[in-house]
């Protein structure tokens, strides 16, 4: 039989408090992530509506894209892809292909590295 002592009660209270703290932390992370996605959605709406990105300054366009995607591209590249049909797919393909494209600044050349 388990002895109900002050030490055992303290352990149970500590375990319950730890479980509650982890639960609260998980809820906060979940809701912060959702609110962050909602903010990103609003920013994308402002960014793309009425083609405002065409009139943006280069720095502002690069910073907005960096904030949205976490990837850094030059403004001319971003404008090029946004002007195409299905820009998200083309940007994803471009990003996936960049790891295979190697530049040699000394020879001013580009080549593909498969392995």
Q: What is the pLDDT of residue 14?
A: 94
Distance CA 82, CA 69 (A): 14
Residue 53 has pLDDT above 60, yes or no: yes
Confidence check: pLDDT of 51 > 70: yes
For the chain, give the mean pLDDT. Answer: 78
Q: Copy the structure tokens of residue 80.
A: 């090029």
Checking if the pLDDT of 36 tops 70, the result is no
Alpha-carbon torsion (11, 13, 16, 18), positive or negative = negative
pLDDT of residue 17: 94
Residue 19: band (very low, low, confident or very high) from pLDDT cuts 50, 70, 90: very high
| Whether the predicted model's global pTM rises above the 0.95 cut | no
- The label of the residue with tokens 């090029």 reads 80
The answer to whether residues 62 and 72 touch, using CB atoms and an 8 Å cutoff, is: yes
How far is it, in rounded angstroms, from Cα 101 to Cα 92?
15
Arithmetic mean of pLDDT, 4-24: 90
Q: What is the DSSP letter of 82?
A: H
């Amino acid at each position: 039989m388990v002895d109900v002592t002050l030490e055992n009660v303290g352990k149970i209270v500590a375990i319950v408090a730890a479980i509650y703290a982890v639960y609260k932390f998980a809820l906060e992370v979940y809701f912060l992530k959702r609110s962050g996605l909602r903010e990103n959605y609003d920013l994308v709406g402002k960014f793309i509506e009425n083609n405002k990105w065409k009139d943006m300054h280069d720095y502002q366009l690069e910073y907005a894209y960096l904030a949205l995607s976490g990837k850094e591209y030059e403004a001319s590249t971003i404008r090029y892809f946004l002007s195409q049909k299905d820009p998200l797919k083309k940007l994803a393909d471009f990003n996936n292909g960049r790891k295979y494209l190697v530049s040699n600044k000394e020879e001013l050349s580009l080549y593909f590295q498969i392995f």
